[in-house]
Amino acid sequence: MDREKIISITGEIKDAVLNYRDILENYIAENKVQLAAYIYPLIPPEITSAFGIESVKLPEPVITGEKKLFSEKPLYKAVILPEDEMPCFHFNFSDTPVHRVKYPGGYGEDAAVQLHNETAAMLHSLFGINLKNIDISELQKKTMIFENLRRSVRSITSLCRERKEIITPEDMDLIFEASSVFPPDSALKLISPLLEELHNFKPQQKEYKAKALIYGARKIPAYIIDFIENSGIDIEEDDTCRGRRLFDISLNAESEYLFYELLDAYSYRPMSPCIRTVAERYELLYKLLRNYGINLLIFYKDDLCGITSEAVNYLRIKCMRDGIDPLVINRENYKEMIENYAGRL
């Protein structure tokens, strides 16, 4: 079975991403909603959605400064950012208000309370909304749509791991982008045909020498991903600010306690290196890698991402103690480093 139908579907997704402004403007008009933008989701988007405010990621070319967002009528009502600066962020704020969120440290009950307070402050400051007026039935309805999107993205990534030759790294980047720059119901319409089509391809049996998580940058170059996997290393997971980590959370949308469960669940998210301390990210993510059969941690360092040497060394030492091999690569040395490691397996 060839990839002709897959190419057709991913082509439609690419066209949608390229024409995101027209699609979002139509969505706003048809659904009578407002848009808030983020570079990384700090405030639970299910909560804003319950108030008629769809929180979506800024397109990557806008984040990196390759494209401007100027227009006669601003597309986003505000951009929601963390307190600390993000080295990869080069967005021009000239016509869009910015709201800074003090993301809580820690996780669990205390962090959930702080996240509640930050959410309430944002809604009041930007939209004049009182969080206490949230409609739980509307929150449940909106959360169900988010859950459907997250399950669909996770299913696609799972199927693609078994069908490596069908979906390329560029295709996966496109899927993650479409699933985050559009509201969830709009994104589902784009990716659902792909999920359906992937079931028509049989899984491929391929032996790998190691299972890895790759960490770093907003986007790992596709040619580097290809080289790693062609060297016998299976990239099971990524920890990038625009990858599958955005879709890991899972909730019971029908729960009558959904509002509190949602805040609690979001308090346990590893988030990005610019938002959480490396010690917290180790506890919430890297400490669990062996449970998923991952035995290799690949650090990809580039000039765009602000991953510090201190953070790399911290995780490298911690993971070595957990029995996970660390490997630090960049654009210049990745072939040598990967070949040397794969040759020892």
Enumerate residues 6+ apart whose C-beta is below 8 A from 117: none
1 pLDDT band, cuts 50/70/90, is low
∠ CA(288), CA(290), CA(292), 5° rounding? 85
For the ranges 216-220, 221-225, 306-310, the maximum mean pLDDT occurs at 221-225
CA 131 to centroid of chain Cα atoms = 25
Please choose, from the candidates 142, 127, 112, 319, the residue with its C-alpha nearest in 3D space to the C-alpha of residue 215. Answer: 319
- Model confidence at 311: pLDDT above 90: no
The 10s digit of each residue's pLDDT in 271-281 is 988 889 999 99
Q: Check pLDDT > 70 for residue 47.
A: yes
pLDDT higher than 60, residue 215: yes
pLDDT, mean of residues 228-253: 90
Whole-number Å distance between alpha carbons of 302 and 305: 6
Percent of the chain with pLDDT over 70: 96
Q: How far apart are CA 345 and CA 342, in angstroms?
A: 5
Q: Where is pLDDT greater, at 113 or 170?
A: 113
Q: Which residue do the tokens 């990716």 mark? A: 191
Asked if residue 17 lies in contact with residue 179, where contact means CB atoms within 8 angstroms, the answer is: no
Report angle CA 284, 302, 60 to the nearest 5 degrees.
Answer: 80
At 56-94, the pLDDT tens digits run 999 988 887 777 665 667 899 999 999 887 777 777 666
Q: Which pLDDT score, from 0 to 100, does residue 308 have? A: 76
Phi, psi of 41 (to 5 degrees): -70, 105
